[in-house]
Structure 1
Amino acid sequence: MANIAIVSPSASSRQLMADVLRTKGHQVNCMTSWQELDFAPMKIENQALFLLDHSLGDERVINIIADIRRLSTHYRIPIMVISASPRSEDVLRLFNLGIDDYYLKPLDAGILYSRVKRLLDLLPVPAEPHYPDTIEFDLNQLINFEIARASRGNYPFSIIQLSLDVDEAKRRPEHDVQELMNLCYDTLHRQLRETDILIGAENRLVVLCPFSDQTGTRVVMRKIIDHLSRQEADYPFSILEMSYATYPYDGRDKGGLLTYASANKEPLKEFPKSTANTLRHGG
């Protein structure tokens, strides 16, 4: 059923029109003036039809019509004006301004609804997709896929895990923790190659790095840490931990890689020194 907006200064007219439409299952939004409706386009486009009472005043009705046409950019929302004026010049002027129907009072429930239904039938029907609009993979599926691909191609594959120290995170406001994870996501996303995949899972971010051996993975981690450390004063990095695992050296299946990464987590604040030392000594 449709959302229908009624704008009328008359309580009796609003009630009659609303009763007719609600008995047919429609959602009705009654207003005594246009100012009651937020002017945001999304609010306008939530309505499938506008019924405007001409007793609002000629100038006000003209302004409302102009606002609806200006703010409804995705499709044309039908407008019906309900009026007691039979003058042809009034009718023609409003049609030229963009209305879709002109209902001459007095109101009759049956006739009113038949004309409302005609206007609603003119609304565009959205096309239904013939294919899924999203393809979802969970972390386990993605790791299994990359391991199988690395095994067939005989090349390494690494995962980098950035996670929260759960005990430390509990001491922080939830908003701060979420802001930190958002920052980490943005930073990791900027550092990725086209072949890398970034996925969030259970308060952690995991980067899947095809073709990356241990040395290459540590270089990527070094870049991530360098970028995050530039904003250390504004974010509680003490609650972050980082780890990595490389196929086939640290595990030959999903379980082995994730177990190795989880068992070798280090606080992010300790990683710059340990990573630099590892790089200098070649792993």
Structure 2
Amino acid sequence: MCAFVMVAEDDTKQAELVRRYLRREDHSVLVVCDGRAAVDEVRSRRPDLLILDVMMPRMDGLDVIRTLRRDYDLPVLMVTARSTAEDKLAGFDLGVDDYLTKPYDPRELMARVRSLLRRARSSDGPVVLPLRVGPLALDQIRHEVRLLERRIECTPAEFRILEALMSSPGRVFSRSQLLEQAHGRDSFVTERTVDAHVKNLRRKIETDPRTPVYLQTVYGIGYKMAGHG
């Protein structure tokens, strides 16, 4: 599963270590050392995966994600020395797909890279019709979500959660089921990340995220997609 991976890391020794491990698995690798360069190179080179440090010069990792998610849905693995739950949820809320705290074992990094690449490529398969719930439509082939024909930008994890919910309107999905849908069985993240993904989706598709019409909470269990005829 060869891919083009971009590494945004201002620690040159750490960046070189990550590059060596990626090259061992035959990935093409581009290393940049500041946030602005990361944004510019994603726009011009379109990598398959971005490994992104939080603390970088010119533009930090969270601002990089905030900028890129306006136009791109590439998988993003964030690495950082910040280890609190609030820091991690802030990253997931912006659209990060996975999160690794420094110092980390490079073998764990590569396991997460493989997981993200598998999830990104698992959409290859037979042609299926778009899913529709009222004016909300999800096209699995084009990887697009539209509400009243307005395109809604979603991260890969958000898209997969919405796909699961829209495939069975009215069915209640537990957080663990949605976590597996979003990040796979070999996920290294917690069920709380599902809440962050759903919160982000509500901001994008609900008129009033505080009183959701589509993505409804089933307290003590998880979430469901309300049917709209």
State TM-score, norm by structure 1. Answer: 0.40
Q: Which has the larger radius of gyration?
A: 1
More helix by share: 1
